[in-house]
């Protein structure tokens, strides 16, 4: 019994020591393994992403507007159906029928960027809810990507400057088209860039004009 107690005490002490070592290392960055560093970054990213997400769900006019329309259309989204996760460098968010909305916690420059990404994915969710899209059909997918890029703020000119595109002439439309094509290329049913371009061009006129649930681009 007493040796159990001693072991317990030792366990406790080593746990305390470990906690202390990690919190001290977090400040200095010294003595941490790469795995520990990664874990800390992941935790920080997740906390930040969750904090911004929760804040936007209640305070952003754009996000609350979209959530409201989703609810009215019978597809309610809440905080748990919008999840923060680490992602590879190629994307910042995603929408899936089974999993809901993904926010790539390690990909956001700032809260506004997360807001635009969340708006983009909520427009996909809205399209899916309202129009029963077939995501393997490239024209359906293209239409939703055009709308998401057009309406979400993805193509705000300040963001374009950050990406290195400086010509403002028809910049918004060019940005929407470019981003829609890139997203359609990632569709498993898309075999080439030409196929993606064709799908986007075919639905462009009607989908660029279709600003539901917004009356107009603001």
**Annotated catalytic residue within 10, 38, 121, 202:** 121
From the CB of 16, what's the least distance to Zn ion, in Å? 48
> Do residues 49 and 86 make contact, with C-beta atoms less than 8 angstroms apart?
no
Q: Which span (13-21, 36-44, 106-114, 182-190) binds Zn ion, by CB under 5 A?
A: 182-190
The reply to whether 183 sits near Zn ion by the rule CB under 5 A is yes
> How many other CB atoms are there within 10 angstroms of residue 114's CB atom?
26
| Minimum separation from the CB atom of position 103 to Zn ion (A) | 13
Reading the block at residue 161, the tokens are 């400057």
Give the three-state DSSP class for 3. Answer: helix
Report if residue 181 touches Zn ion, rule: CB under 5 A.
no
- Is residue 121 part of the annotated active site? The answer reads yes
Q: Is 151 in the site for Zn ion (CB under 5 A)?
A: no
CB of 72 to Zn ion, least distance (A): 22
Helix, strand, or coil here: 117? helix
- Burial of 36 per CB tally in 10 Å (0-12, 13-18, 19+): middle
Asked whether the CA dihedral 46, 75, 215, 176 is positive or negative, the reply is positive
For residues 42 and 159, which CB has a smaller minimum distance to Zn ion in the complex? Answer: 159
Binding range to Zn ion, per CB under 5 A, among 14-22, 98-106, 181-189, 206-214: 181-189
Question: Which member of 148, 176, 180, 181 binds Zn ion (CB under 5 A)?
Answer: 148
Buried b (16+ CB within 10 A) or exposed e, 79-112: eeebbbbebeeeebbbbeeeebbbbbbbbbeebb
CB of 45 to Zn ion, least distance (A): 21
Catalytic positions, written as ranges: 121
* Site residues for Zn ion per CB under 5 A: 145, 148, 183
């Amino acid at each position: 019994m007493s040796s159990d107690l001693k072991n317990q005490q030792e366990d406790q002490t080593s746990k305390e020591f470990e906690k202390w070592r990690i919190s001290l290392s977090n400040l200095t960055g010294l003595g941490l393994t790469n795995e520990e560093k990664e874990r800390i970054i992941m935790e920080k990213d997740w906390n930040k992403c969750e904090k911004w997400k929760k804040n936007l769900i209640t305070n952003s006019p754009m996000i609350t507007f979209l959530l409201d329309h989703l609810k009215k259309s019978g597809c309610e989204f809440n905080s748990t159906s919008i999840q923060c996760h680490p992602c590879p460098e190629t994307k910042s968010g995603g929408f899936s029928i089974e999993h809901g909305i993904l926010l790539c916690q390690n990909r956001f420059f700032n809260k506004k960027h997360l807001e635009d990404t969340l708006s983009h994915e909520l427009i996909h969710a809205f399209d899916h809810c309202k129009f029963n899209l077939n995501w393997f059909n490239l024209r359906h997918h293209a239409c939703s990507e055009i709308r998401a890029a057009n309406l979400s703020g993805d193509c705000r000119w300040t963001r374009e400057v950050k990406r290195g595109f400086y010509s403002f002439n028809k910049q918004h439309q060019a940005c929407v088209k470019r981003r829609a094509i890139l997203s359609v290329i990632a569709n498993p049913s898309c075999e080439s860039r030409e196929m993606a371009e064709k799908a986007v061009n075919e639905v462009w006129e009607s989908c660029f004009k279709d600003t539901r649930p917004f009356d107009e681009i603001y």
